[in-house]
Amino acid sequence: MIKSLDLGKEAIFPLILKMSWPSIIALTAMSIYNFIDTFWLARLSSEALAALTVCFPVQMIFAAIGVGTGIGAGSFSARMFGAGKILQAQKTAGQIFFLSFFFGLITIISVLLFGDTILIYFGAFSEILPLCHDYLYVIVFSSPFLFFSMMSNYLLRVEGRPLLFMYVVLIASICSAILDPLLIFGIGPFPRLGIKGAAFAAVFAQCLAFMFSVYFIQLKSSKYELKLKYLIPDLSTINSIFSTGLPSIATNLVVSIVLVIYNHILAHFGFLAIAALGICFRVNSLVTMVLFGIGFGLMPVIGFSEGAKLYQRLKESVFVALKVSVSLAAVASIILEIFAAQIVGLFSKDPSLSVIATPAIRIFASALVLIAPIVIFINMFLGLGKGTLAMFLLFFRDCILLIPLLIILPLWLGLEGAWLATPIANLLSLFAVIFYAKKELRRFNKTS
C-alpha cells in the first residue's frame, strides 16, 4: 500500500524532494526514451531524424491537451482537498476519463482527414514528407491513452502519491525503449518497420500506461473514484478544470507554433539543421524535465497550502524549490558546454551534422539557468489556480519575444541567430515572471 504524504505538515525540504523525485525520475525516463528514440532514428538516417523533429509539434499538441487538462484537474483537486471538499475532488477522475477519450477521438479524426496538410504546414518538405506521414499516421492512435495517462498522473501527484505517477511513466518508457530498436531495424522475429517501428513502439507503450493508470486510480487507497456517475460529463467540474487547464493548453499550443516556425526557418538551411534541432531538444529535455519535475512537485504543495491558508509554508516551499532548481540548472549548463561535441557524436558521426549541432547545444544550454526560475514561478501560479497569468507570461515569452526573434535574428546572424533566439527570449521574459511573482508573494505577506 502506498502511503500518502501530508502536504500540510511535513518538513518543506524533504516534502519537496519526496513530491519531486518521482516526477524527476519519471520525466527523466521519458527524456531518456526520447533520447534513445532519436539515437536509433539517427542511426537509421538523418532524414528520419529530421522527420521525427517535424512531427514533434504534433506531439506537442498531444502534450498540450493532456498536460493542460491534467494541470487544471490537478490544481482543482488539490485546492478541493486542501479546503476539505473531498466529493468535488473525487469527481475529477471520472471527468478526465471522459475528456481523454473525447479529445482522443477528435485528434484521430483530424489526422486521418488532414494529416498530410498538417505535416506540410508544420514544415515537412518533399524530401521527408513520406517519413513524416509514416510516423504520424501510426502514433495518432495512441492519443486517447496518452491523454488519460497524462491527466491521471497529475491527480496521483496531488493526492500525495507521486510514486504511482513514476511507475506509469517508467513502464511506458522502458517498454518503448526496448521495442524501438527491435521494430525499427527488424531484430529477431520482429519485422523491419523503420520510422513506423518507433511509432508502433510508442502506441503499445501508451496502451500499457493507460491500463496501469486506470488500475492505480481505482486502488482502495486512492482518494478518487471512477464510479459510472462520475464518468458522465459534469459541466461545473469541467469548467473548474479548464479555468486553470485551458490557459495551460493554450500555452503549450504556442510552444507547438514556435516549433513549427523553427522548422520552417531551419528548412532554409537544410534537413541537417532540422535534425540538429531535434538533437538539441532531446539533450536539453534531459535537464528541463528535471526542472519540470521539481515544479510539478511544488505545484500540489502550493495548491494545498493556499487552500488551507498556510501562506508562510507556501512562500518557504517556493524558495526551497527555487534554490534547488537553479543550482541543478547551473551544473547541467556547465557540463553541456564542455561536452557538447561528444554528446553530438553519440547520435551521428556525420561531420556536417556535428558542425551545426555542437554550437546549437551550447547556446541552448546557456538558457537553462534562466528557465529554472521561470518553471518554478509558473508552477507556483498554476498551483494558486492562476492559469491565466501563467498563460500570459508564457505567451509573452513565446509570441511577443521568441517568435519575432526567430524571424529577425537569422536574417542578421544566419543559423546562429535561430539558436540565439531562445536564450534571449528567456532572459527578457524572466524579468516579467519575477515582477508578477514578487507581487503574488507580497499579497501573502499581508494575509499571513
Residue range 427-432: mean pLDDT, rounded: 96
More confident residue, 14 or 429: 429
User: 436 burial class (0-12, 13-18, 19+ CB within 10 angstroms)?
Assistant: middle
pTM beyond 0.85, yes or no? no
**Residue holding cell 538551411?**
269
Angle, nearest 10°, between helix axes 46-82 and 195-217? 10
353 touches 409 (CB < 8 A): no
pLDDT at 447: 58
Average pLDDT of the chain, as a whole number: 86
pLDDT at 7: 66
pLDDT at 100: 93
Q: For the chain, give me the number of helices (H) and strands (E)?
A: 16, 0
pLDDT at 1: 41
The radius of gyration of the chain from alpha carbons, rounded to an integer in Å, stands at: 21
Of the ranges 94-103, 187-196, 345-354, 362-371, which one carries the lowest mean pLDDT score?
Answer: 345-354
Residue range 31-49: mean pLDDT, rounded: 83
Q: How far apart are CA 151 and CA 131, in angstroms?
A: 30
Alpha helical stretches, state H, 45-142: 46-82, 86-121, 129-139
Domain ranges of the chain: 12-447
Quick check: 256 pLDDT over 80? yes
330 closest CA partner among 287, 360, 297, 359: 287
Quick check: 401 pLDDT over 60? yes
User: 432 burial class (0-12, 13-18, 19+ CB within 10 angstroms)?
Assistant: middle
More confident residue, 241 or 162: 241
pLDDT band at 2; cut points 50, 70, 90: very low
